[in-house]
Structures are given as structure tokens and as C-alpha cells.
Amino acid sequence: MFLNIQENAIFVADSHYNLNNGQFLIFLENLAKNKIETKQLILMGDNFDFLSSESKYFIKQNKTAIELLNKLSNNIEIVYLEGNHDYNLQKIFPNIKVIKREKQPLFGKYKDKSIALSHGDNFINWQYDLYCSIIRNSILLKFLNMIDFGNFISKKIESSLLDKNICHKMKDFKSLVSRRVNNYNSDIIIEGHYHQGSTFELKNKKYINIPSLCCDNKYIKLNDYKFIGENI
């Protein structure tokens, strides 16, 4: 898939929507009410704290946001790059263009600029790749769902995620970015995952880390080559 990125496209990352973090639902409601306007919404992954098509418990927990996203997809082009907390999503979002981790980066173009988009948890190492393939295995997830009596597995996962502190600044993020840009051949690189909301010009490339919606209360809107942070 190749993506033509539109003027006023919106990028949202790392909302980690759960019982504690409601910003993503507020954002979607503002879209539905036209308080936020766009014709193209690019979700950069981890917008749900956990979600997969095999997990009945988390589908039920996230029902309101799922239904609203599907309603919005009838009028807005929505692209969803799967993250490390939300995957195997196509069955849940039939009208949304879902990009699995192994298909990232997603390449696109904005005016005369080439763009690469990834959630950001790629290009790490083979051990992490193996881990990702295991936790995304549909047969394993269906089995776990089948033995999830009283939702005890799901509730344990949910409790662990609710207790996790995901909002912190990385001391040497620029050094990490300088290594990551070597994996991309494009004018602009856009990632989520790291929750830093930082932009760098490195090696003739522009690197943009989309801020975490739940940590910074911000999304990014593209206007005339500028990636502008806006509050929900």
C-alpha cells in the first residue's frame, strides 16, 4: 500500500485508551461533532492500551471507542498502523486500512516529500521480532481467550497495564533517533511508540515522533509542510 497524505491530515499516537486514559474517546467525539476537522486520520499505534480481534473482554471494554471509530470511517479515510498494544485489528475495523507491523514502514507522499510511517517498534532485533510474532499469533490468542474463565487472564493484563507509568522523557532520545533514521529512505520519518513528541533534522531527513495523546494531550496536524501539535 502507498499512501497519499492529504493537507490537514491528523496523526494520533499512543493514546493507550483504558479506564484511566480517556483522551482518545474525547478526541473521537470531537471529530464526530466536527470540533476537530480532517478528511484523513492516521493512527500511529497503541491507541488502545490493549486490543486484538481475538480478545472478547477487551473488545467489550473498548466497545464505545470501537463503534465510534467505525462510524467515523464511513466519512473519513482512516489508516491504522498497528502497535505493540493493538494488533490483529482488521476484523474489528472493516472499513479502516490496517497496517500490520510486518508491513511497516508504510510509505507515502505529501506534495513533493516522501514519507515513511511506522509505529516505531520495528528495526530493533530478532529476539523482539520473535516475541512480536508469538504475541500476535491468532491461534494462541484464541486459545487464551477460550481458557479465560471469568476473564481472569484479561483482568490480570488490564490491571498490569493500568498500574504502568508510560509517561516519561528519555535522556538520550536523539541518539536513538540518529540510529533509527538509518533504516529509512525517505525525506520525512514519522513514528509513535516513544512518547517523546520530538522533532529532529538528521542526515538530510526530518524525524517526527508523534506525542502520546494520553501523556501530552496532543495530536499532530499537517498544514503547509508544518506538523503542528494541537490540544484535544
pLDDT tens, residue by residue, 25-69: 999 999 999 999 999 999 999 999 999 999 999 999 999 999 999
Residue 138's pLDDT band, with cuts at 50, 70 and 90, is: very high
Cell of 211: 506525542
Does 1 have pLDDT greater than 90? no
| CA within 13 Å, CB half, 105 | 22
DSSP state of 5: P
pLDDT at position 110 is 97
State mean pLDDT over 203-231.
Answer: 96
pLDDT at position 64 is 98
Work out the percent of the chain whose per-residue pLDDT is above 90.
99
Beta strands in the chain (DSSP E): 2-4, 10-12, 40-43, 51-52, 77-81, 86-87, 97-99, 106-110, 113-118, 188-191, 199-202, 205-209, 218-223, 226-231
220 burial level (CB within 10 Å; 0-12, 13-18, 19+): buried
Cell of 147: 481458557
C-alpha–C-alpha distance, residues 44 and 144, integer Å: 27
What mean pLDDT, rounded, does the chain reach? Answer: 97
C-alpha–C-alpha distance, residues 209 and 1, integer Å: 22
Q: Model pTM?
A: 0.96
